[in-house]
Structure 1
Amino acid sequence: MFNFTPLLGAQSSSPASQSLLEFDGGIKILIDVGWDESFDVAKLKQIEKHASTLSFILLTHATVAHLGGFAHCCKHIPNFTRIPVYATIPVVSLGRTLLQDLYTSTPLASSIIPTDALTDSGYAVSLKDGTNPNMLMQAPTNDEIAHYFASIKSLKYTQPHTPRESPFSPPLGDLTITAYSAGHTLGGTIWHIQHGMESVVYAVDWNSYREHVLSGAAWLGGGTGGAEVLEQLRRPTALVCSCTGSGQAVAAQRNSRDEALLSMVRETVSNGGSVLIPSDSSARVLELAYLLEETWANEPSNTGDSLRSARLYLASRTGGATMRYVRSMLEWMDESIVKESETATGAQEGQDRRRTRGHGGKGDEEKTLRAPFDFRHLQLVERKSKVQRMLDSEGPRVVLASDTTLEWGFSKDAIRSLAHDSRNLIILTERLSPATSQGKGLGAFLYDLWTARSASTNNAPISPDPSDQATIRTIRKFPLEGDELALYQQYLATQRQHQSIAQGEASPLEMLGDVVFDDATSFTSTTSEEESEMGGLQGRLLTAANTTRHARHKLGLTDEELGVNVLIRRKNVHDFDVRGKKGADKMFPFVAKRRRADDFGDVIRPEDYVTAEEQEEQIGAEGLGAAAASNGATKTENAVGQKRKWDEVAARTVEGVRGGVPAKRSRGDREGSQAMADGQEMDDNDEAMASESEGEEEEDADKIEGPAKAIIETSTLQLQARISFVDFSGLHDRRTIQMLLPLIKPRKLILVKGEEAETRELAEECRKALSSGSATDVGVDVFTPLVGDCVDASVDTNAWFVKLSEEMVRKLQWQKVRGLSIVAITGRLEAASLEPTAHDDHEQDKDEGGGGAKKKAKLAASSSAVVVPANRTTEIDGLPVLKALPPNLSKPLRSIAQPFHVGDVRLAELRKRMQAAGMTAEFRGEGTLVVNGTVAVRKVGEGRIEIDGGAYSFVEPRGGSGGGGGIGDGTFFKVRRMVYEGLAVVSGQ
C-alpha cells in the first residue's frame, strides 16, 4: 500500500512543498517542511497534526520553499525533535545558514500568534475590539537552529540507507532510502524509497542540464548524457514530480542565459547605472556568484566600457559562513569545478616551490592560483550598516542581494535606494507568484509588471510608467506591554500545558513554575536592570499563584484532549475506558519529574539559596545602586544571586586598559586586511566599511528582548528603475519531462508543486507521452491532487481478502525473495458462511486434546496469510474461504501449472557475488557485466536477463571448481546458477 497526500503546494500559488507518504504498517514519511514569505503558522498545522505519527523526515533542498518551517516546527511542535531527519551534507549546512539569515532579517519569520489561539486560551483577559495585536512567537536563536540541524543525519548520493524510525513509529522493516542528485541546488535530492513491492521516486524541483557549479539530475547519470535512465530510478511504482516552471515550453540554455544577463549588466554599467540581482542566500546564489566572479576576473581592465569599473557585492547576513561551507563541499559540484580546484592547488604548490628557491614572479599566473569561490572581485557585505554605506557610495555597482521575493532580505533595502534612478536595472531571476496572505509581494508585483509588457519589447528591460507605484511592507518589532503582556503569558502557559500533555514529561504545577521562573526575564522586559532580585522574585511568585489558579480551573482542555490524564486532572473521575486504546492511554497516568540541566549538570537557582542577611544586603545595594545611577555612576560588581554579565565586564576592562579601543578585531577588519593582502583595490568607502567595528550596535538598537509584537507599516515606492527577467531558477521544463517520462516508465505519476493551470496542462501532456509507447503504457494513471487529497498509488489498488482453510495453510511452502514471502496457490473458493460459529478457544483446545493453541501458533508463524482463529468473529466469517482441491482435481491441474521464477536480479549485486566466489567481474559498456572475460550478462528488458558466453565457458571443469578463466572452467554454468539463486522458483500447490 502506498498513499500520497500533499500538505502544501499542490495546485496553488504557494511555492512551499510539504508531502506525506504512507506505507503498509502505519509507516508515515514527511518530505520537506516548506514555508513561503507569508510565514503563516496555519500552513504548518497539518505537520503538527501528523507529527505524533511520523516515522522520519526527508529534506530535498536548502531553500525556504523546502525547509523554511523546519526550525519553527522544532521549536513549537511537541516531540518534533525526536523524529529522525535525513538530508545530504550540503542541505544541512546551507539550510542552517539560510534559516539563520531568515530569522535575523525579519521579525515576521517568528510567525504571528493566530487570533483563535489567543481567544481559545480560556483566560479572563480578552482581545480588545477583537483585533489581533500581532504578537510574535518565540523565535529560535542561532544556537538553537545550529542544534536542530546538527541532529540531522547526513547521507551521500547513491548509497542505500536503512533509516531509524521515531520512538512513536511502527517498525520500518526492509524500507530503504537512497539519495540521488537533483541538480537544482547544491546537495539537492531526488529520493528513492523502497518498501516491499513499492518503489517510490520523489523528484520535486530538479534540473537535468549541467550548469557552472552543479551537475545535472541523476536520471541519465548526472548530466553525463547517458542513453538510459538509471536502473534504480526506472519503472517505479509511483513518480512524484513537480510542475513549477513547466508552463514555459523550453527553458533557456546556459550560454544564452548567461549572455543575456551579462549583456544587460554591461549596458547598465557603461551608462553609469547600478544593477540589483535578488537571489536566495544559500542555493541558487552560488551559480550567480560564480558566474559574476569569473566574468570580472576575465574582463580586461584597460577598455573604456569594462565591467571592472563597477564594484561587485554579495549582500547576505550569512554570506561568509555560506561560502566557507561551500569551499569544503567541492566534491558535490560539477566535475569542472573539481578539476579547477585541483589545478589551482597544483599551481599554488608550484609557486610556493619557486618562491622557496628565490624565483618570484606573478602576472598572468595569478589567475590560475584562484580556487573556486575564493573571491577576489566579489565583496561580501553582511551588516546592514555596510549595506547602507555601499548603497550611498558613488559609481556603478552590481549587487547580489538575499531574498528573491524582495520581502525580508537585503534586497528590500537595496531596491529602496536604487528604484529612483532610471539608469539602474533590477534583474529578477525566478518566476514569482503572489503567495502572501496580505496580498501580492513586491517581487511578484515586479514580475507581473515585466510579464505584462515584455511581449512588446522582445524580453528586453522595461521602463515603468510614472503611474507605476509599488507597495513595500515594513515590519517593526515592539515589546509587549499592559494587557498584551498578560495575555501572552497566559497563551504561553496554555501552550506549555498542551506540550506537557503531549510529551508526558511535566506536571501542571512544575510546568507553570518553569514558565514563571525561566521566562520571567522575558516577561518583564520593560523593567530596568537595577530592579532588585527580591522584588522580581515576589512578582514571579505572584504570577505563579495567579497562573496556577487559572490553570486549575480554566485549562481550556476537553476530556478527549486530556485522554487518560483525566483521572488525575478532573475531579470525581475514577474510571477510564482503555478498550481499543494504544500507547500511554492504556496505562494509569504517571508524570515523572523533569530535571532541568545544562552542559554542566543540574541547573541551580541562586535565588533559592539566598539567606535573610543577603536579602537585606541586596535591598540596601539596590538603594545605593539607584542613587549612584542617578549621579551618573555604574555598578562595578554584581550582587549575590545575580548572573554575571561577562560581555559588559570584559568591555569595561578593555576600555580601562586600552582607553576605550576594542581589543577584539572584528570580522570586517579581518576580511578587509585579507583583501588588501591579496592586492584588491579599495576606495575610501570600502576601507571605511571594512574597518567598521563588529562591536558597533547599530542593528541592535531596535533589538527587542522578550515578548514582542509586529507592527506592519506600508509605504509607496515610485519605480523609475528598469526591470528585466532572466531565468536562473535551474528547473526542468516541459520538453525535458516529455522526453524522460517514456524512459522512466512510471506505473503511477503524481504531479504536485505548481499552479492549477500549468498542472492540468502538464497532466494532459504526460498522458499523451505515456500512452504513445507500447500497449503496456496505456494504463498509466496521472494524478493531480489538491492540498489535503489522499491518492492511492499502490502497486495494485484492486485487492480482495479471502480466508484460508487450515488444510490449505498446512500445505503452503513459502519462498523468500528480498525479504518477502511468496507462494503460488491453486484452490477452490467457497462462499462465506452466513451463520457465526459457536466454537471458542476453550472448546477448540479441548477437542484437539489441548494442542489447538500450539498448532494455531505454528500455522500463524509459517505464513503471512490471514490465519483464522477458532473464535471467529462475524466480520471474519463474512469472507469467502479458499480450500485445497480434492485429489481427483489436483493432479491434472498440477501438470498444467508450470513452475516460474519470481524476483529481479540486479547486476551490481550479481557482480559482488561473483567476486566473492573468486571470479573476476566488471562492467563494460552500458549495463553489461563481463565475468572472467568470457561471459557477458546484460538486461534486455523488464524481467529478462541475457547470458552470452564464449565457447570455452560452456565446458564443465574437469576437476575442482576453480575460479580462473582457463579452458574448461564452466563459467557460463556458474553464472547461470548464481542468477537462478537470486530468484525464487514458485510452483502451484
Structure 2
Amino acid sequence: MFHFISLLGAQSESAACQSLLELDNGIRILIDVGWDETFELEYLKELERYAPTISLILLTHPTLSHLGAYAHACKHIPGFRSIPTYATFPVISLGRLLLQDLYLSTPISHGHLLKLDALTIPASPAFSQPALPAPTPAAPEGSSSWLLNPPTSAEIESFFNRIIQLKYSQPHPITFLPSPITITAYSAGHTLGGTIWKVTHGQENIVHAVHWNHSKDHHISGAAFLQPNSQTVSTETLGKPSALICSSTQPDLDLPLPPLTRRTRDEALLATIKRVAWENGGTVLISTDSVARVLEIAYFLEQTWRKDSTLAGIRGPNGRKGVGLYMAGRRGKRLSKAVGRMMEWMSDEVLKALEASERLQEESKAKAQEQKQSRKKGKGKQQNEEAAQKVETAGPFDFVHLQILEKRKSIERLFDGSLDISEKPLGMVILAADKSLEWGFSKEILAKIAGEERNCVILTEKSGSGIGKELWNEWQANVAGKSYSDGIKLENQQKELKFSKRIPLEGEELNAYNAFMADRMALQSARTNVIQTTGPAGIITTGHEDDDDVSSSDDDEPDSDSEKQGKSLSALTLKKTAPGMPLVAGQTVDIGVNVLIKGEGIYDYDVRQAKGRNRMFPFMPKRRRVDDYGEWVRPDDYIRAEERGEDVLDGDDAEKEKKAPALAERIMGKKRKWEDLTPGKSADANKKKGKAGKLLSGSDADSGEEEEEGEVVESDAEPESDSEAELESQFHLPSKLLDETQTITLNCQVTYIDYQGLHDSKTLQNLLPKIKPRKLILIAGTTRETDSIASYCRNLWTPKTPRAQREVDIYTPQNGETVNASVDTNAWVLRLSDTLVRQLKWQNVGTLSVSPALGILKITQTPQPGDEPDAKRQKMDLVTSSTAVIRPVSTDTDALTPITLDTPPALMAAATRASHHPILVGDIKLPDLRKALQQRGIQAEFRGPGQLLCDGAVMVQKEGGTGRLVVEDRGGGWRGGLWKRVREVVYGGLAVVVGGN
C-alpha cells in the first residue's frame, strides 16, 4: 500500500513543500517541513495534526520552502523533535545557518500566539486513538499581536545535531519500523546537498524528486537521473519507479523573454553590473536566499572579480577603486567557513580549482623567501604583487573580493561612507536575503536605494508574495521589446514596506499573557504525556516514560492511588496551583509525585502518607532504541566541533573556557548566561574579557578572527542594538509584534535574471519519458504549471489502442487530498492468527522456509477509543476530567482495515485438502545439482547450455525461459534404477507442498 498526501505545495502559489507518504503497517514518512515568507501558522495545522503518527522525516534542500518550519515544529509541536530525521551533511549545516539567520532577522517568523485546538489524529492501524485535553479558553482581547518564543541559536544547533547524516547513492536500511524500508539519497542539483529520495518498501519503489536541476551549475553538479556519459536512466538507481513524485515548477512558462542558458544568464548579470555600478556609480541589489542559491552567485562573482581587473583593482576615475562586492547576512562568515568543509559535494570545476590553489600555495612558499631577500622593489609594487599572489593562492570559496556584512550598523555605515574599508568603491554590488524582499537585509537596502534612478534591483527568483512578487509583475508587464540586461525603470511608484519589531509586554498585557500561558503550557504538558504514552506510529520513542510495569507489592492496596498521595510543602506553590495539580483547560489534575519531574519550580513533596513506589523520588528511564546490531549510538555525541560550525579553542583560551563556569552565580535550576555580569565586576570588565571568556558559538565564533587586508571592519566600540546576544535575550520575554510602515518612492531599475537553478518545461518533457514511472504525481507548482506538464504527459502516454490501458497513471492532487498510488498487483499483506501459525509445517528451501497455509480471511475489528487496556487507561486518567475524543480523519477504510488469515472450519478444510495437488517449490541450479549427483556416485557432465548428462543415459535439462526442469531417459536409464535415483536427487532440492496446514 502506498498513499500520498500533499500537506503543502500542490497547485499553490506558495513555494512551501510538505509531503506525506503512507505505507503498510501505519508507516508515515514526512518529506520536507517547508514554510514560506508569510510565516502563517495556518500552514502548519495539517503538520501538527499528523505529527504524532509520523515515523521519520526526510529533508531535501536547505531552503525556506523545504525546511523553514523544522525548528518551529521541534520547539512547539510535542514529540516532533524525537522523530528520526535524515538529510545530507550540507543540508544539515546550511539549514542550521538558514534558520538562525531567519529568527534573528525578522520577528514575523516567531509566529503569533494562538490557542491550541484539540488535535484530530488521522486514522492509522498502528496508532491508537487517545483522548486529549479540550481547547484552552479564548485568548484575551489584544492578544493577536502576541508572539511565541522562537528557538534560539543554541536550540537550533541541538535540533540539527540530532539529524542523521547520509551520503549520496548509499542505501540506508531502516529496521526499527514495523516493516523494514530502505532510503537512498541521490543528487538533485539546485542546492548544495540537495536530495532526490528513493524509498523502497516491499514492492513499492518510490522516487521523490522535488525541485531538481538537470543542468550543471558553477559550484554543484546536476541531478543524478542520467548515467555518466549516457542519455539513459538506470533502473538500478532512479529508473522505472513504481511511483514518481515530481515537481511541476517551470520558471520559463511565464517569461516574456526567451529563457536564458547558464552562459547567457552570466553575461546578462555582468552586463547589468557594469552598466549600473561601473559606468554610472550606482548600487546593484541582488535579492537571493541566505545560504543555498547565494553560493552560486557569490562563487561566480568572486571568480569574475579575480579575473577582471577592471572590476577588482584598477583605479577608476577620480582615483576611486572599482566596484565593491558585498554580501549582507547575519551568518555570512559562518557560511564561508561551512562551505569550505563541503568541497566533496561540489562540482568537478570547484574541485579542480581547489587542487590548483593548493598547488600554488606550495609554490608561493618558495617565492616568499626570495621576496624577503630582495628589498629593492618599491613599496607600491610589492603590495600589488602580494595582492596578486593572495588572489592566485586563494581557494574557490576563499572570498578575497567579496566582503561580508553581518550587522545592520555595518550596512548603514556602508551607505553613509563611515564604514572602515580600504578605499571607497565607484559602485557597489550587494547580495542580500531574501528573494521576496520581505525579511532580511534586502528590504532595508531596498529602502535606501529605491529613490535613485542609477540603482538597480536584480530579482533572481520568482517570489510567491511580498514586494518581490510586485516587482516581478512590473518587470513582466513592461519588459517586452527589451533585454534582460536593460531591465525596466520605475517612475515615482509608491510602495509600502512593513518593518516589524519584537516589543516586550508590560503592565496589564503582561498579566493577561501570563494567565493565558499558564493554561496553554499545562495543556501542552498533558498533551505531550499522552503522545509519549502512545508514541509515533511504528517507531520506538526516545523520550522519558513512567515505568508503570514495575511496582512494589504495596501498589495494589486501595490507598495507593496517585491522586490521594501527599501535599506540597511549598506555600508559594500552593498559591499558583496545588502540587501535582497542573492547570488543564481551567481545571486541575493531580499527577502525584511525578510533579517533581514534570512541574516547574517545585522541589519538594510530602510523601509521608504515600505507599509503594509513590513514596520514592520518581525516576523516568529512557526507552533504549535497539536494532539487530544492538543499542543505537547517538551521532551528535561524536560530532566534532568544526562539524557543528564552532571554533575549536586551544591553548590559554581553552584553559579560560574550563574555568569560566566556576565564576557563574549558582541559581537553582538555571545557569548564568555568558553575557550576564560576573558577580562583583562591572560591565566594562566583562566586556574586555568577552573574547576569552565566552563560548565561540553562533556568530560569536567569528568575532575572534584576525582582520585581513580589504576586509570590512565592524567596530564594536558602540553598543549594537541588533547584536545576536541582545536579540536572543528578548526571545524568552513575553513580547508582541509592533509593525511600522514606511512608504518609499521607487525610481530605480528592476530586472529579472533566473538564478534559481530549477528544471524547465523542456527538461521535464525530455526526461520524464526516460524515467518511465508507473505512476506520476505532480506537486510543487502552480495550477497552470501542473496542468501544463500533466496535459503533455497524458498526450505522451495515451493508449495506442482503445482497449489498451494507459501506460502511466498521472495524478495532480490538491493540498490535503489523498492519492492511492499503490502498485497494481494481487499481493496482499495479511496477518496470521496464532492458531494458524501453530499448525504450519515449515520446509527449508535454500535460505528460505516455506509452508502451505489453508485459512479463511477475516476482517479484524479496529479497536475503539474505549477499548484500551487497563494499563493504558490508567495513564490517561489524568485528562479524563476534561477531554475531547479524537475522531479519525476519513480515509480509505480498505487500506487501513487489517485482514487476518484464520483457520477454516474442519469440514471446509478437509474438502479443500482433497482437491489440492502437490506443488514443488524452489529453484535448482545445475552446478549445485551436479555436485549433489556426484555425492551420490552418479557421474554428471555438462553437455550444452542448461543440459546435464548423468552416466551417459539420463539427461537433466533446464528450460531457459520458464526455468522448468526436465528429467529425460536417453536410453538404458531405467536399468538399475538410474532414472529414479536422478529424480530423487532433483526432488531433494525442492520442497513438496501438499494440501493445507
Whole-Å separation in 2 of the counterparts to 1:195 and 1:261 = 46
From the superposition, tell whether residues 86 and 498 of structure 1 become closer, same or farther in structure 2 (CA, over 3 Å): same
- TM-score normalised to structure 2 length: 0.67
Deviation at 1:227, TM superposition (A): 3.3
Residues 108-156 of structure 1: per-residue CA shift (max 9 Å, x gap): 11101126779x998889523xx54311111111111101101111111
Residue equivalent to 1:522: none
In structure 1, distance between residues paired with 2:77 and 2:100:
19
Structure 2 residue 340 is matched with structure 1 residue 327: yes
Q: 1:278 aligns with which of 256, 273, 287?
A: 287
Give the equivalent residue in structure 2 for 1:783.
811
Q: Which residue of 2 aligns with 1:617?
A: none
Please tell me the residue identity of whatever aligns with 2:815.
V
CA distance in 1, matches of 2:813, 2:764: 19
Report the counterpart of residue 5 of structure 2 in structure 1: 5
> CA–CA distance in 2 between the matches of 1:155 and 1:757?
35
Counterpart contact for 1:22–1:28, Cα < 8 Å: yes
* Whole-angstrom distance in 2 between the partners of 1:66 and 1:380: 26
Aligned to 1:709: 736
**Cα deviation digits, residues 717-768 of structure 1 (max 9, x gap):** 2111100000100101111111111211111111111111211111111223
- Is the Cα–Cα contact under 8 Å of residues 475 and 488 in structure 2 kept in the other structure? no
Which residue is equivalent to 1:262?
270
CA contact (8 A) 1:741 1:770 kept: no
1:228 & 1:640 partners in 2: Cα distance? Answer: 62
Distance, in Å, in 2 between the alignment partners of 1:481 and 1:79 is 32
Seen in structure 2, the aligned counterparts of structure 1 residues 801 and 282 have a Cα distance that, compared at 3 Å, is: closer
AA aligned to 2:3 is N
Identity percentage over the alignment?
A: 35
In the alignment, structure 1 residue 241 sits paired with structure 2 residue 249: no
Q: In 1, Cα distance between the equivalents of 2:86 and 2:857?
A: 49
**Which piece of structure 1 moves more, 466-475 or 142-151?**
466-475
Q: Which whole-Å CA distance do the structure 2 matches of 1:698 and 1:345 have between them?
A: 38
Residue pairs, 1:682-831, within 5 angstroms: 686=712, 689-693=713-717, 696-697=720-721, 699=723, 704=730, 706-771=733-798, 778-796=806-824
Corresponding residue SS for 1:754 = coil
Asked if residue 192 in structure 1 is aligned to residue 198 in structure 2, the reply is: yes
Partner of 1:623 in structure 2?
A: none
Specify the alignment match of 2:214 in structure 1.
208
Using the TM superposition, give the Cα deviation of residue 977 of structure 1 relative to its aligned residue in structure 2, in angstroms: 15
Q: SS at 1:176's partner residue?
A: strand
Q: Aligned to 1:278, what secondary structure does the other structure show? A: strand
- Matched with 2:79 is 79
| Greater CA drift, 242-251 or 355-364 | 355-364
Distance apart, 1:216 and its partner CA: 0.4
CA contact (8 A) 1:62 1:98 kept: yes
- Structure 1 residue 497: Cα displacement: 2.1
CA distance in structure 1 between the aligned counterparts of 2:678 and 2:765, rounded to whole angstroms: 65
The residue type paired with residue 409 of structure 1 is G
Structure having the higher helix fraction is 1
From 268, 271, 296, the counterpart of 2:305:
296
Gaps of 5+ in 1: 166-170, 435-440, 508-539, 570-587, 598-635, 833-863, 906-950, 959-972
Report if aligned partners of 2:333, 2:702 keep a CA contact under 8 Å in 1. Answer: no
- TM-score after normalising by structure 1: 0.67
The residue type paired with residue 196 of structure 1 is: G
Query: Which position in structure 1 is the counterpart of 2:323?
Result: 310
Q: Map 1:519-668 to 2 at 5 A.
A: 544-545=573-574, 547-548=576-577, 555-556=584-585, 593=618, 647=675, 649=677
**Equivalent of 2:151 in 140, 144, 160:** 140
CA distance in 2, matches of 1:496, 1:312: 48
What is the letter of the counterpart of residue 64 of structure 1? Answer: L
Q: Deviations over 1:42-69 (max 9, x none)?
A: 2112222122111111110101111111
**1:173 partnered with 2:179:** yes
Residue of structure 2 in register with 1:61 after alignment:
61
Displacement after TM superposition at 1:229 (Å): 3.5
Measured after TM superposition, the shift of residue 180 of structure 1 is: 0.4
Are the counterparts in 2 of residues 419 and 718 from structure 1 also a CA contact under 8 Å? yes
CA shift digits 1:260-283 (9 cap, x unpaired): 111111111211111000111110
Q: 1:379 and 2:392 equivalent?
A: no
Q: 1:472 aligns with which of 482, 486, 497?
A: 497
Q: Does the 8 Å CA contact 1:193/1:201 hold for their aligned counterparts?
A: yes
Looking at structure 2, the residues matched to 45 and 376 of structure 1 have their Cα atoms a distance apart, in angstroms, of 46
Amino acid at match of 1:69: A
CA contact (8 A) 1:314 1:378 kept: yes
SS of the counterpart of 2:480? helix
Amino acid at match of 2:253: Q
CA distance in 2, matches of 1:808, 1:75: 45
Larger mean Cα displacement after TM superposition, 132-141 or 371-380:
132-141
Counterparts of 1:819 and 1:279, CA distance in 2: 56
- Please report how far the alpha carbon of residue 695 of structure 1 lies from its aligned counterpart in structure 2 after TM superposition: 6.4
Residues 401-422 of structure 1: per-residue CA shift (max 9 Å, x gap): 1211111111011101111110
Q: Quote the Cα distance in structure 2 between the aligned partners of 1:423 and 1:798.
A: 68
Q: Does 2:513 align with 1:488?
A: yes
Counterpart for residue 37 of structure 2: 37
> Which segment is superposed worse, 812-821 or 710-719?
812-821
In structure 2, C-alpha distance between the alignment counterparts of 1:589 and 1:789, rounded to whole Å = 48
From the superposition, tell whether residues 505 and 377 of structure 1 become closer, same or farther in structure 2 (CA, over 3 Å): same
Distance 1:590 1:175 in 2: 45
Question: Is the Cα contact below 8 Å between 1:654 and 1:660 reproduced in 2?
Answer: no
From the superposition, tell whether residues 986 and 768 of structure 1 become closer, same or farther in structure 2 (CA, over 3 Å): farther
What is the DSSP-based 3-state SS (H/G/I as helix, E as strand, rest coil) of the residue aligned with 2:429? strand
State whether residues 219 and 296 of structure 2, in contact with CA within 8 Å, keep that contact through their aligned partners in structure 1: yes
Secondary structure of the structure 1 residue equivalent to 2:298: helix
Distance (whole Å) between structure 1 residues aligned to residue 259 and residue 100 of structure 2:
32
Aligned Cα root-mean-square deviation (Å): 5.2
Amino acid at match of 1:174: P
Is the partner of 2:431 in helix, strand or coil?
strand
Whole-Å Cα distance in 1 between the matches of residues 757 and 900 of structure 2? 50
Secondary structure of the residue aligned to 1:213 is coil
Partners of 1:589 and 1:772 in 2: CA distance: 71
Q: Deviations over 1:200-258 (max 9, x none)?
A: 00111100111100100010147x55433452211111100011235628853211111
Task: State whether residues 494 and 746 of structure 2, in contact with CA within 8 Å, keep that contact through their aligned partners in structure 1.
Answer: yes
Q: Is the 8 A contact 1:186 1:214 kept in 2?
A: yes
Amino acid at match of 2:197: W
| Contact 1:672 1:690 (C-alpha < 8 Å) held by counterparts | no
Separation (CA, whole Å) in 1 of partners of 2:775 and 2:786:
16
Once residues 828 and 138 of structure 2 are traced to their aligned partners in structure 1, the CA distance between those partners, rounded to angstroms, is 57
Match of 1:867 among 896, 901, 910: 901
Q: Within 1, Cα distance between the matches of 2:678 and 2:347?
A: 47
Residues 221-240 of structure 1: matches in 2 within 5 Å?
221=227, 226-229=231-234, 231-240=236-245
Q: Please tell me the residue identity of whatever aligns with 1:382.
A: E
CA contact (8 A) 2:498 2:739 kept: yes
Give the aligned length.
766
**1:669-721 CA deviation, whole Å, 9 max, x = no partner?**
76572x22xxx4x7xxx5xx444459645647776351100012322221111
Determine which structure has greater relative contact order: mean sequence separation of CA pairs < 8 Å that are 6+ residues apart, divided by chain length: 2
Write the distance in 1 (CA, Å) between the matches of 2:404 and 2:181: 44
Displacement after TM superposition at 1:457 (Å): 2.8
Preserved contact between residue 816 and residue 822 of structure 1 (Cα < 8 Å): no
Matches of 2:909 and 2:815, distance apart in 1: 41
2:480 matches 1:455: yes
Report what 1:847 is aligned to. Answer: none
